[in-house]
Amino acid sequence: MRYNLHMNTNELILSELARLYPDARPALEYRTPYELLVAVILSAQCTDERVNAVTRELFSEHATPQAMVRLTQEELEGYIYSCGLYHAKAKHILSASRDILEKFGGSVPSTIRELRTLSGVGQKTANVVYSVAFGGDAIAVDTHVFRVSNRLGLASSDTPARTEEDLRSVIPQRDWSKAHHWLIYHGRRVCHAQRPDCAACTLAPLCAFRAAQKE
């Protein structure tokens, strides 16, 4: 990477992440905010590839809240079984779909506050839908973002909520959504949970975890 003497460590890290992953984007397939919401609920403790395989079939028949609520809990569980946690996920999807129909006129709400009122929608899911589907500025902290940002030293926190606060304070708002995807890409490709590939990582000279290993 190229160093700019006027940049601090966090700025250098963000600059390098932007250089590494200029085309970073969501791996979940969706055509509407509703499809994205369902896909994100399904993605808890499940790979994006598995979710995409499941939603391709599910959305071919049930791509709207109106169509989804025609399914019984058991019928929906049959579609999403392979995503894991299928009982709770089916319950959340049906309940959120009913809320969207009854409280939001059939459209997924576009604010984080309203998204958080939907069943099964926590801060991470609300942030993803807000930023990806509606173009809002948000940093969703999933397992990769949490791990990589704390290793790098962009955050220094032991909870996703505090990590989000740390990241919002060190990343310019215009980059919040992009940084979410940069950190996910880096977590998947280099900074693995079990064996981070520090020897191949161009961020190693800037990384707090790497520096601590050498002490």
- Cα three-residue angle 86-128-161, rounded to 5 degrees: 90
CA distances from residue 31 to 60, 90, 100 in whole angstroms, order as listed:
12, 20, 17
Task: Kindly tell me which of 62 and 144 has the beta carbon lying closer to ligand SF4.
Answer: 144
Q: Tell me, yes or no, if 103 is annotated catalytic.
A: no
Residues of this chain, 32-91, that bind ligand SF4 according to CB under 6 A: none
Among 152, 155, 171, 183, binds ligand SF4 (CB under 6 A): 152
CA distances from residue 53 to 45, 61, 81, 213 in whole angstroms, order as listed:
15, 14, 12, 40
Which is catalytic among the residues 48, 91, 103, 124? 124
Task: Kindly tell me which of 85 and 190 has the beta carbon lying closer to ligand SF4.
Answer: 190
- The one-letter code for the residue type at 159 is T
CA distance 55 to 38: 8
- Which residue's entry shows tokens 């009122």? 117
In the complex, minimum distance from the CB of residue 205 to ligand SF4, in angstroms, rounded to a whole number: 8
In the complex, minimum distance from the CB of residue 176 to ligand SF4, in angstroms, rounded to a whole number: 19
Q: Does 12 bind ligand SF4 (CB under 6 A)?
A: no
Among 203, 212, 214, 215, binds ligand SF4 (CB under 6 A): 203
- End-to-end alpha-carbon separation of the chain, Å? 23
Tell me how crowded residue 168 is: count the other CB atoms within 10 A of its CB. Answer: 16
In the complex, minimum distance from the CB of residue 147 to ligand SF4, in angstroms, rounded to a whole number: 8
Q: Tell me, yes or no, if 124 is annotated catalytic.
A: yes
Residue 92 and residue 107 in contact, taking contact as beta carbons nearer than 8 Å = no
The stretch near ligand SF4 (CB under 6 A) out of 19-27, 58-66, 114-122, 190-198 is 190-198
Q: Does 190 bind ligand SF4 (CB under 6 A)?
A: yes
What residues make contact with ligand SF4 under the rule CB under 6 A?
151-152, 190-191, 196-198, 201, 203-204, 207, 209-210
Residues annotated catalytic, as ranges:
124, 142
